[in-house]
Structure 1
Amino acid sequence: MQKLTDNVGPAISKETDFVSRLNAIVWDAELEPLEFEEKWCQLVNEHNLEGNSWLSTMFRKRRKWIPTYFRDVPMGCLLRTTQRSESQNNFFKRFENAHGTLVEFLMRFQSAIDVQRHTQKQLDRDDECTLPQLATSLKLEAHASKVYTNSAFADFQVEASASICSFSVGGFTPPANGIELIGIADTRTQKTYQVVYNSLTNDAECSCKLFNRKGIICGHIIWVYSGK
Structure 2
Amino acid sequence: MAKAIPQSFPNTVHKLCRWHIMKKYREYLALLYKKYKTFKEEFTTILNWPLMPTEFEDAWAELVHRYNLENDQMMMQLWSDRKMWISAYYKNIFCARMTSTQRSESMNHVLKKGFVKGTQNLHKFARQVNACIQTRMQKENEQTMTSMTNPVTKTTYGYEEDMSIKYTRAVYTEMRNRMRKATLFREKRTAGPTKYLVYYHNKPGHDDEEIFSWSKHEFQVVADPENEIYECECKLWTHKGLFCLHIMNILDYLKPDKFPNKSILKRYTKTAKSQPTFDTRDYNTTASDGSSRLSKQDILLQLNLMVNKKR
Partner letter of residue 201 of structure 1? N
Gaps of 5+ in 1: none
Q: Which residue of 1 aligns with 2:248?
A: 219
> 2:52·2:234 contact (CA, 8 Å) conserved in 1?
no
Partner letter of residue 158 of structure 2? K
Moved over 6 A (4+): none
> 1:131·1:146 contact (CA, 8 Å) conserved in 2?
yes
Report the Cα distance in structure 1 between the residues aligned to 2:139 and 2:24, rounded to whole angstroms: 33
Q: 1:209: how far off?
A: 3.2
Report the Cα distance in structure 1 between the residues aligned to 2:166 and 2:175, rounded to whole angstroms: 11
Report the Cα distance in structure 1 between the residues aligned to 2:250 and 2:37, rounded to whole angstroms: 36
Please give the TM-score of this superposition, normalised by the length of structure 1: 0.81
Q: Which residue of 2 aligns with 1:65?
A: 85
- The structure whose residues are more often strand, as a share, is 1
Task: Describe the shift of the 1:162–1:137 C-alpha distance in structure 2 as closer, same or farther (beyond 3 A).
Answer: farther
Gaps of 5+ in 2: 1-21, 203-214, 258-311
1:66-145 paired onto structure 2 within 5 Å: 66-75=86-95, 77-80=97-100, 82-93=101-112, 94-128=114-148, 130-145=149-164
1:166-185 paired onto structure 2 within 5 Å: 168-175=186-193, 180-185=194-199
Partner letter of residue 98 of structure 1? G
Q: Which residue of 2 aligns with 1:49?
A: 69
Task: Describe the shift of the 1:99–1:168 C-alpha distance in structure 2 as closer, same or farther (beyond 3 A).
Answer: closer
1:21 aligns with 2:35: no
Deviates more, 1:212-221 or 1:36-45: 212-221
Report the Cα distance in structure 2 between the residues aligned to 1:56 and 1:162, rounded to whole angstroms: 32
Which deviations, in whole Å up to 9, do the C-alpha atoms of 1:165-208 show, x marking residues without a partner?
65544232234xxxx21223453776643221347733121234
Q: 1:133: how far off?
A: 0.2
Deviates more, 1:2-11 or 1:141-150: 2-11
- Counterpart secondary structure, 2:164: helix
Deviates more, 1:182-191 or 1:148-157: 182-191
Percent of aligned positions that are identical:
24
Report the Cα distance in structure 1 between the residues aligned to 2:32 and 2:162, rounded to whole angstroms: 52
Q: 1:73: how far off?
A: 2.0
> 2:200·2:217 contact (CA, 8 Å) conserved in 1?
yes
Which deviations, in whole Å up to 9, do the C-alpha atoms of 1:9-29 show, x marking residues without a partner?
95775223223322322232x
Which deviations, in whole Å up to 9, do the C-alpha atoms of 1:111-158 show, x marking residues without a partner?
101101101110111112x11001112111111111100010112223
Task: Describe the shift of the 1:5–1:148 C-alpha distance in structure 2 as closer, same or farther (beyond 3 A).
Answer: closer
Which deviations, in whole Å up to 9, do the C-alpha atoms of 1:21-72 show, x marking residues without a partner?
22322232x1111111112122212333222222212201101011222322
Report the Cα distance in structure 2 between the residues aligned to 1:142 and 1:9, rounded to whole angstroms: 42
- Counterpart secondary structure, 1:45: helix
Task: Describe the shift of the 1:3–1:201 C-alpha distance in structure 2 as closer, same or farther (beyond 3 A).
Answer: same
CA RMSD of aligned residues (A): 2.9
Q: 1:226: how far off?
A: 2.0
Please give the TM-score of this superposition, normalised by the length of structure 2: 0.61
- Counterpart secondary structure, 2:38: helix
Q: 1:221: how far off?
A: 4.0
Partner letter of residue 15 of structure 1? Y
